[in-house]
């Protein structure tokens, strides 16, 4: 068993153009003042880290790591959620997802995909240079627009979609393997990897690649009515990253899982600050400790009600209160006896 590391905080939702959220040193100092010990750093722009430079220069990576350490913090993981999304984009989403890419590759899906794949390879090397062993990302999607099959999906469509997804990701995963870093897919609506079945289909297509791992975020599973506790029992060997994000699902006679095109505040399924939703985090933290999870508990703040800074302040305490310092001895060790083969045979009635 292992005591989880934490609390950590994902910086993406807090980044801004005003202090203390506009540069890495300031935001790390702020996070440390709230009780956080680690930061998960988004890499979709150069505000906090230059991803390519971190991949190509160990000196620069050491400088970034040193800056974070000087603030009393550690880097938990890098994140390429937006770049990973762009590894696979169905043409139906080209216009919307172009905003995730630099202007130089917009309106050019082929160039955008190539850019995203290169970004992922930079992420693997940058993680290695920073001494990290896990990385947070999305899978992207070619099939999401068909998840509710009407009209009926053509025969072989799903298989072809996952074959292509694997074709794009396998070379990336190989680079992650060369760098000794796990690529942790956040299983998420809008991605082709959105539940356990889809992850297993992908895993089969990439020949059970050892670096095709998971970022566990139970909030998405509450909204899908998926058993997020059993999910840990099934996939614990692949879970290498963890987002502490809460949610709630309160269906009515008017709306359910699909949300009725409503804003987040009026949806049946809503993301909430840690402790304000329905996720059973006590059991989750117990399960992860039991299964020897060696990663960080990282708060991702997404809440339709609470102020972000209040959510961060409460989130640090919430995670700290849920981390289980695992025991180094059994509770009944006081009654233990030394091994005695003769005694054991007598107890079994064999002598």
Average pLDDT over residues 131-155: 96
Answer left, alpha or beta for residue 184, where phi above 0 means left and psi between -120 and 50 means alpha.
beta
Give the pLDDT mean for 127-139: 98
Counting Cα atoms < 13 Å in the Cβ hemisphere of 114 gives 7
C-alpha closest to that of 40 among 83, 3, 77: 77
- pLDDT digits over 170-200, tens only? 999 999 999 999 999 999 999 999 999 999 9
The alpha-helical segments, DSSP class H, found in 16-156 are 24-34, 51-56, 58-70, 81-85, 94-97, 109-129
In angstroms and rounded to an integer, the radius of gyration of the C-alpha atoms of the chain is 22
95 membership: H or E segment, kind and range: helix 94-97
Please state the domain count of the chain.
Answer: 1
Tally the residues of the chain: 351
pTM of the model: 0.94
Tokens 């550690």 map to which residue? 74
CATH code of the domain containing 295: 3.20.20.150
What would the pLDDT profile of 194-242 be if each residue is shown by its tens digit? 999 999 999 999 999 999 999 999 999 999 999 999 999 999 999 999 9
Q: What are phi and psi of 43, to 5 degrees?
A: -125, 15
Predicted pLDDT at 162: 98
In the chain, pLDDT over 90 holds for what percent of residues? Answer: 92
Which domain does 87 fall in, by range? 5-347
End-to-end CA distance of the chain: 37
Kindly tell me if the per-residue pLDDT of 332 is higher than 70: no
83-110 pLDDT, tens digit per residue, is 999 999 999 999 999 999 999 999 999 9
Residue 335: partners with Cβ closer than 8 Å, 6 or more residues away: none
- pLDDT for the residue numbered 335: 61
């Amino acid at each position: 068993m292992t005591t989880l590391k934490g609390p950590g905080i994902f910086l993406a939702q807090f980044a801004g153009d005003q202090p203390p959220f506009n540069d890495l040193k300031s935001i790390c100092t702020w996070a440390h003042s709230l009780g956080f010990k680690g930061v998960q750093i988004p890499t979709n722009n150069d505000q906090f880290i230059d991803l390519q430079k971190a991949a190509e220069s160990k000196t620069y990576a050491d400088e970034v790591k040193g800056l974070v350490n000087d603030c009393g913090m550690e880097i938990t993981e890098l994140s390429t959620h937006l770049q990973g999304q762009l590894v696979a984009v169905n043409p139906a989403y080209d216009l919307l997802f172009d905003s995730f890419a630099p202007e130089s590759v917009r309106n050019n899906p082929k160039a955008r995909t190539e850019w995203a794949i290169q970004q992922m390879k930079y992420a693997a090397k940058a993680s290695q240079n920073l001494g990290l062993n896990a990385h947070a990302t999305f899978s992207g999607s070619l099939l999401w627009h068909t998840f509710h099959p009407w009209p009926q999906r053509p025969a072989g469509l799903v298989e072809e979609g996952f074959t292509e997804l694997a074709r794009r990701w396998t070379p990336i995963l190989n680079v992650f393997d060369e760098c000794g870093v796990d690529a942790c897919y956040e299983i998420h609506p809008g991605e082709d990897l959105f539940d356990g079945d889809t992850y297993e289909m992908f895993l089969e297509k990439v020949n059970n690649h050892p670096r095709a791992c998971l970022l566990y975020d139970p909030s998405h599973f509450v909204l899908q009515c998926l058993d997020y506790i059993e999910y840990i029992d099934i996939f614990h060997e692949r879970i290498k990253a963890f987002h502490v994000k809460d949610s709630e699902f309160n269906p009515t006679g008017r709306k359910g899982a699909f949300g009725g095109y409503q804003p987040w505040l009026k949806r049946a399924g809503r993301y909430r600050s840690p402790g304000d939703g329905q996720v059973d985090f006590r059991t989750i933290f117990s399960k992860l400790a039991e299964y020897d999870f060696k990663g960080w508990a990282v708060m991702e703040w997404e809440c339709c009600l609470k102020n972000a800074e209040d959510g961060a302040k409460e989130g640090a305490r919430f995670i700290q209160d849920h981390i289980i310092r695992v025991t180094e001895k059994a509770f009944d060790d006081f009654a233990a006896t030394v091994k005695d083969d003769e005694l054991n045979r007598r107890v079994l009635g064999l002598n």
